[in-house]
Amino acid sequence: MGLPRPALVTEGLTIRPEPFESPDVQRALAQYVAELAEHFPEGFRPGGGVPPAEDDFTPPKGVFLLVRLAGEAMGCGGLRTESDGTAEIPACNDNPHAAYWFEKTLR
C-alpha cells in the first residue's frame, strides 16, 4: 500500500529554481542516488558516472528545481532541453511529498 498523496500540504511548500551546485541540491541528489542504489545490488551510477555539462541545468538550456517544505529541502528535479527541442527530466527525487508537487508544477 502506497502513501496517500499529500494533496492538502501546501502551506510552507515552495518549488523554485536552484543552482545545480547549491549544497541543498547536492544533498537532495545524494539522497536520490542513495534511494536508487538500494534497488541495484551492484550499485547505481547516475549517467554512467558522466557528470552533466556545466550549463545543462542553466536557462535557457535547462533548469533545476528544489522542493522545500517549511524551508527544508524535500526533493529536486532537473529539466533540460535537447538539441531537437525535446525536453528531458533526468533526475527527480522520489520523496512522496516532493514528487507529487513537482508533478503538479510541471502540468
pLDDT value of residue 23 = 94
| Predicted pLDDT of residue 105 | 55
* Number of helices (H), then strands (E), in the chain: 2, 4
**Grid cell at residue 93:** 527525487
Alpha-carbon distance 13 to 98, whole Å?
Answer: 9
Q: What is the pLDDT of residues 49-81, one digit of tens each?
A: 556 777 888 888 888 888 888 888 888 888 888
Q: What are the chain's domains?
A: 14-39+56-106 (3.40.630.30)
Are 94 and 2 contacting, i.e. CB atoms less than 8 angstroms apart? Answer: no
Please give the Cα distance from 104 to 9 (Å, whole number): 13
Q: What is the pLDDT of residue 44?
A: 66
